[in-house]
């Protein structure tokens, strides 16, 4: 996972969480049902995620793919973001604290990424799903859960 970083979104060569997400947004409150919440997206883009951190990989879009507005509860369940796809995908998140988190192949199914955030604070989580070839958009499903990684 990558840590805090501040790519220069003003150049157009970096992801920009201030843009509207391509596949929408959702307001989720801890204890939500059904769990997982899923959304179909086309992963990929023209910006290499390494502009965020050397720990990030894959080609992503400038605008987020999806946004989760999270309201934390008093429980101890984590907030889990994971992706399923026939393609090898990567995952990039700008979390509620402004930190950049990245994963490749951390999910439960082969080449799928997953990021688990313990004690996730309330706030905005912007999500990008990447691929390994520039501009190679691949059908994927983003999963948001408190219980399961895909």
Q: How confident is the model at residue 5 (pLDDT cuts 50, 70, 90)?
A: very low
% of the chain residues with pLDDT over 70: 92
Output the CA–CA distances (angstroms, integers) from residue 132 to 3, 22, 103, 122, in the order listed. 21, 19, 13, 31
Give the pLDDT confidence score for residue 11 in this predicted structure.
52
pLDDT, tens digit, 9 for 90 and up, residues 85-105: 999 999 999 999 999 999 998
Give mean pLDDT, residues 21-37: 97
Say if residue 4's pLDDT is above 50.
no
pLDDT, tens digit, 9 for 90 and up, residues 35-91: 999 999 999 999 999 999 999 999 999 999 999 999 999 888 999 999 999 999 999
Residue 30's nearest CA partner among 95, 97, 122, 92 is 122
130 within 8 A of 22, measured Cβ to Cβ: no
Residue whose pair of structure tokens reads 């509860």 in the numeric block: 73
Neighbours of 147 (CB within 10 A): 9
51: Cα within 13 Å, side-chain hemisphere: 18
Structure pTM?
0.91
The dihedral through the CA atoms of 7, 13, 17, 23 has a sign that is negative
Max Cα-Cα span within the chain: 41
Residues 69, 105: Cα–Cα separation, whole Å: 25
Residues 149, 25: Cα–Cα separation, whole Å: 20
Say if residue 9's pLDDT is above 90.
no
> Topology of domain 18-145, per CATH?
Jelly Rolls (2.60.120)
Q: Residue 27 has which token pair?
A: 């307001």
Backbone angles phi, psi at 79, to 5 degrees: -105, 120
**How big is the chain by its Cα radius of gyration, in Å?**
14
């Amino acid at each position: 996972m990558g840590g805090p970083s501040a790519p220069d979104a003003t150049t157009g060569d970096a992801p920009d969480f201030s843009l509207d997400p391509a596949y929408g947004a959702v307001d989720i409150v801890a204890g939500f049902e059904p769990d997982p919440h899923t959304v179909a997206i086309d992963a990929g883009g023209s910006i290499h995620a390494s502009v965020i951190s050397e720990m990030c990989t894959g080609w992503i879009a400038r605008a987020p793919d999806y946004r989760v507005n999270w309201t934390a509860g008093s429980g101890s369940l984590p907030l889990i973001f994971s992706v399923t796809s026939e393609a090898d995908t990567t995952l990039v998140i700008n979390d509620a604290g402004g930190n950049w988190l990245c994963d490749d192949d951390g999910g439960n199914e082969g080449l799928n990424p997953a990021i688990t955030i313990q004690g996730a604070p309330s706030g905005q989580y912007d999500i990008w799903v990447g691929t390994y070839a520039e501009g190679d958009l691949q059908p994927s499903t983003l999963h948001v859960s408190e219980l399961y990684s895909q």
